[in-house]
Amino acid sequence: MKDIIIVCAGTYGMEVLSVIDAINLQLRLKGQEEKYNVLGFLDDNPNALDGKNVKIPIIGKISDWQPKGNEVYAIGAAFPKVKEKLSIMLKERGCKFETLIAPWSIVSDYCTLGEGCFITAYSISAGVTLGDFVNINASSICAGSVIGDYSTTTGFTVVDNATIGKRVFIGSHAVVVPGVTVGDDAQVSVGSIVTSDVEKGATVFGVPAAQIG
């Protein structure tokens, strides 16, 4: 069994905890040993769990935390630049990050997954490559797609044989069609259909998606 610590005790941290609980439950139902022992959360706000029905405590601050031993970590944050900042800070201190895959996800054995990914996907097809600290939330990532470090897809997103850069945020119900490249630090707004390349740092919206920022 691995000791694990969740970084950030906000709403997304609760989602990470729920997936860890689901992984452990699935193993228990099979008569197997649980995979994770949750030691607690890290958060610079000591009151972050107030009013939440959570028995797992906040055990320290992110800002001054030092790893204790062989524990692994998971980041409970979805925004790309937050994930990047926290992961770099904690990795420099020696923290190691776990890739978590929800039991209800369908993930091909023929994918490449980076460190610290968090996957609650509908499906990830063969030939997909995910960088480090990529979040895939209730999305379909089709064969041949590449998604760069720290990027996040939200609910009901479809990425079809496309190339997504680093620190990209893709909003709910968006579609990125085959052959398209979305540049680093871009944002694809809710409900957009991306039919042509998106420049680095651009924000796009609409059907078809056009640059708005």
Domain ranges of the chain: 2-97, 101-201
Task: Check: CB of residue 110 under 8 Å from CB of residue 127.
Answer: yes
pTM value surpassing 0.85:
yes
Q: What backbone torsions phi and psi does residue 52 show, to the nearest 5 degrees? A: -105, 140
Q: What's residue 53's pLDDT?
A: 86
d(CA 81, CA 156): 22
d(CA 138, CA 173): 10
Measuring CA to CA, how many Å separate 197 from each of 8, 186, 189? 33, 11, 15
Q: Which CATH number fits domain 2-97: 1.10.1740.10, 3.40.50.20, 3.40.50.1110, 3.50.50.60?
A: 3.40.50.20
Let me know if the fold of 2-97 is the same as that of 101-201. no
Residues of the chain with pLDDT under 50: none
Of residues 181, 165, 175, the one with CA closest to residue 207: 175
Q: What's residue 213's pLDDT?
A: 79
Q: What's residue 69's pLDDT?
A: 86
Q: Which fold has domain 101-201?
A: UDP N-Acetylglucosamine Acyltransferase; domain 1 (2.160.10)
pLDDT in tens, 38-54: 999 999 999 999 888 88
